[in-house]
């Protein structure tokens, strides 16, 4: 193989220099004898002799031409053929140093920003760079808040719950201070007769879905107008998730049905996950998988074909929520009592358990968080928020703030790596940010 690569380089250089007879000699005497079933001589090598210009030779051979660049590429290809115990691979030291930096990032318990990492000392982020402090308390709701979800651009937060309203909050940076924000009510979406159990932003953030009893509503997030009202489920709608291309969405209900919808509000397919009621579902960011969970059952289907061609697993514990990692490889599922589980969607195996939060009677939701989604957050029935390091499973924070009842949901801002939100039975939504130093400051109350 090495001799073939060298002869090929020689052949191409002679062709470019216009020495056709010498190139033909290399082709016949050096390249042809090296041909084999595994490395045949491409017919294009013969046809290159018919090219009318240097540019055509380079284009058809996908070659950079005579010079240092092509010979460096040849050298790299030759080095790749030499066993590592005989010759260090190209840029091996650089790769080792980069691996060292990546390992330090993975082991840093509070890595939420992306500062330069030095090899002169071990990297650690300060606890005060992590969002451990409530910066704003949003108290517009008049009853328990069950669901929160950030818009994809991170500038708006939707919250909903028992008071039948969905509130969209607008975040505005303070001029001259990138760390400070102001938050105000942007829209109040009112139209459901019962509590809102699920919400979902469209991929372009122009539409918000809300689900209550058997009804799904589609809202214009710029004007607050209700675009469409859909009633198809026979029992309560429990989950909503958009397809990544924005051309439709999926809903799940207590009637065991998973419905696929188009933008006109028409159902295109129904997947019945019997006998389990659907408590939550999620579509993977790559659009290839749909994960729907029931009381003690996980169902994984293909969201691009018929999801009835699926796999399922029976568990012994009650499940309450599911979210999928940004790389579409893992599913995070809350299980009662008192555990959050990380599953591989490729192998369907349990990867890690996160324990400590209190969950037994109510629906508690969790999420991935952090710059590299390297944290696991969960609400809890003891009014606290629990934070684990994803790779190690270490419980790194237990945050107090909500006054009573359960913390029902948490959501990490997708664009601000040091900000997340929580929603609780105390009728409030809390915004959490990094204090930046050891000083405590009073949160801003937004009504």
The predicted-structure confidence for 177-216, as pLDDT tens digits, reads as follows 656 899 999 999 999 999 999 999 999 999 999 999 999 9
Q: What would the pLDDT profile of 58-82 be if each residue is shown by its tens digit?
A: 888 888 888 878 888 888 888 888 8
Instruction: Return the beta strands (E) in 273-405 as ranges.
Output: 280-283, 289-293, 297-302, 311-314, 318-324, 330-336, 339-344, 350-355, 366-369, 375-378, 384-389, 395-400
Within 13 Å and on the Cβ side, how many CA atoms surround 355? 3
pLDDT over 90 percentage in the chain: 53
pLDDT of residue 86: 78
All structural domains of the chain, each given as residue ranges with its CATH number in brackets, are 2-79 (no CATH), 127-446 (2.130.10.10)
Using the predicted structure, report yes or no on whether residue 217 has a pLDDT greater than 70: yes
pLDDT of residue 99: 82
Residue 53 pLDDT class (50, 70, 90 cuts): confident
Q: In a 3-state reduction of DSSP, which class is residue 30?
A: helix
Backbone angles phi, psi at 35, to 5 degrees: -65, 145
Which region among 15-24, 26-35, 85-94, 141-150 has the lowest average model confidence (pLDDT)?
85-94
pLDDT of residue 248: 95
Using the predicted structure, report yes or no on whether residue 10 has a pLDDT greater than 90: no
**What is the C-alpha separation between 361 and 384, in angstroms, rounded?**
16
DSSP 322-347: EEE-TTSSEEEEEEETTEEEEEETTT
pLDDT of residue 314: 59
pLDDT of residue 185: 97
Mean pLDDT to the nearest integer, 166-170: 98
pLDDT over 70 percentage in the chain: 91
The residues that bridge with 253 in the sheet, in sequence order, are 237
Using the predicted structure, report yes or no on whether residue 440 has a pLDDT greater than 60: no
pLDDT of residue 85: 77
pLDDT of residue 423: 98
pLDDT of residue 308: 52
- Rounded mean pLDDT of the chain? 87
Q: Tell me the two tokens of residue 217.
A: 């509503």
- Structure-model confidence comparison of residues 138 and 445, the more confident one: 138
pLDDT of residue 39: 63
Using the predicted structure, report yes or no on whether residue 276 has a pLDDT greater than 60: yes
Using the predicted structure, report yes or no on whether residue 102 has a pLDDT greater than 60: yes
- Structure-model confidence comparison of residues 196 and 91, the more confident one: 196
Residue 285 pLDDT class (50, 70, 90 cuts): very high
pLDDT of residue 33: 81
Which region among 25-39, 193-207, 317-331, 372-386 has the lowest average model confidence (pLDDT)?
25-39
pLDDT of residue 204: 97
Per the confidence metrics, is the pTM higher than 0.75?
yes
Residue 237 pLDDT class (50, 70, 90 cuts): very high
pLDDT of residue 94: 82
Choose among 97, 98, 72, 77: nearest CA to 89: 77
Q: Are strands 444-446 and 133-138 parallel, antiparallel or unpaired?
A: parallel
pLDDT of residue 414: 95
Cβ atoms of residues 108 and 124 within 8 Å: yes
Query: What residue has token string 């105390």?
Result: 426
Residue 2's H or E segment, with its range, is helix 2-16
Using the predicted structure, report yes or no on whether residue 42 has a pLDDT greater than 70: no
Mean pLDDT to the nearest integer, 238-263: 94
């Amino acid at each position: 193989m090495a001799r073939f690569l060298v002869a090929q380089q020689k052949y191409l250089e002679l062709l470019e220099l216009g020495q056709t007879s010498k190139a033909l000699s290399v082709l016949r005497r050096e390249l042809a004898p090296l041909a084999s079933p595994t490395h045949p001589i491409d017919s294009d090598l013969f046809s290159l002799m018919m090219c009318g210009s240097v540019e055509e030779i380079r284009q058809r051979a996908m070659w950079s031409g005579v010079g240092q660049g092509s010979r460096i590429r040849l050298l790299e290809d030759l080095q790749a053929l030499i066993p590592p115990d005989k010759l260090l691979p190209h840029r091996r030291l650089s790769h080792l140093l980069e691996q060292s930096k990546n390992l330090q990032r993975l082991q840093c318990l509070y890595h939420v920003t992306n500062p330069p990492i030095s090899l002169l000392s071990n990297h650690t982020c300060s606890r005060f760079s992590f969002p451990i402090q409530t910066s704003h308390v949003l108290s517009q709701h008049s009853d328990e808040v069950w669901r929160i979800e950030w818009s994809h651009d991170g500038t708006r937060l939707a919250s909903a719950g028992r008071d039948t309203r969905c509130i969209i909050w607008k975040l505005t940076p303070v001029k001259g201070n990138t760390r400070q924000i102001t938050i105000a009510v942007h829209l109040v979406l009112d139209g459901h007769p019962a509590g809102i159990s699920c919400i979902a932003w469209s991929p372009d953030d122009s539409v918000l879905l809300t689900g209550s009893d058997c009804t799904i509503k589609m809202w214009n997030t710029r004007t607050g107008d209700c675009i469409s009202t859909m009633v198809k489920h026979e029992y309560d709608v429990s989950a909503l998730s958009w397809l990544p291309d924005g051309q439709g969405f999926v809903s799940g209900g207590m009637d065991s049905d998973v419905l696929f919808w188009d933008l006109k509000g028409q159902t295109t397919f129904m997947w019945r996950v019997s006998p389990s009621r659907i408590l939550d579902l999620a579509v993977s960011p790559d659009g290839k998988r749909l994960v729907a969970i029931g009381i003690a059952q996980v169902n994984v289907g293909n969201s691009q074909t018929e999801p009835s061609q699926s796999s399922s697993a029976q568990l012994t514990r009650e499940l309450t929520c599911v979210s999928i990692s940004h790389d579409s490889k893992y599913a995070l599922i809350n299980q009662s009592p008192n555990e959050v589980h990380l599953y591989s969607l490729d192998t369907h195996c349990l990867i890690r358990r996160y324990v400590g939060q209190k969950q037994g009677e109510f629906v508690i939701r969790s999420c991935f968080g952090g710059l590299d989604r390297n944290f696991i957050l969960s609400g809890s029935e003891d009014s606290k928020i629990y934070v684990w390091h994803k790779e190690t499973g270490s419980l790194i924070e237990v945050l107090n703030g909500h006054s009573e009842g359960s913390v029902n949901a948490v959501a990490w801002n997708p664009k601000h790596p040091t900000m997340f939100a929580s929603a609780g039975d105390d009728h409030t939504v809390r915004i959490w940010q990094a204090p930046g130093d050891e000083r405590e400051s009073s949160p801003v109350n937004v009504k």
